[in-house]
Copies of this chain bind each other. A is one copy, B any other.
Amino acid sequence: MDTIPIMKRHVLIFGLVGGVLIATLQYTEYRFVVIEHSVELYSALVAILFAAFGIWLGLRITRNRETIRETVVVREVLVPAEAPAPEPFAPNTAQQQTLGITARELETLTLIARGFSNREIATQLFVSENTVKTHCARAFDKLGAARRTQAVQRGKELGLLP
Contacts and interface: CB of A to CB of B under 8 A. Distances in A.
Interface of A: 7-8, 10-11, 13-15, 17-18, 20-22, 24-26, 28-29, 32-33, 36, 39-40, 42-43, 46-63, 65-66, 69-70, 72-83, 86, 88, 90, 112-117, 145-154
B61 A61 contact: no
Copies of this subunit: 2
Given A42-B43, A50-B51, A81-B81, 6 more contacts: A29-B39, A47-B47, A76-B78, A76-B79, A114-B153, A148-B149
A116 B51 CA distance: 32
B13 A14 contact: yes
Identify whether the interface residues of A are mostly helix, strand, loop, or mixed.
helix
Given A42-B39, A69-B73, A21 B20 contact: no
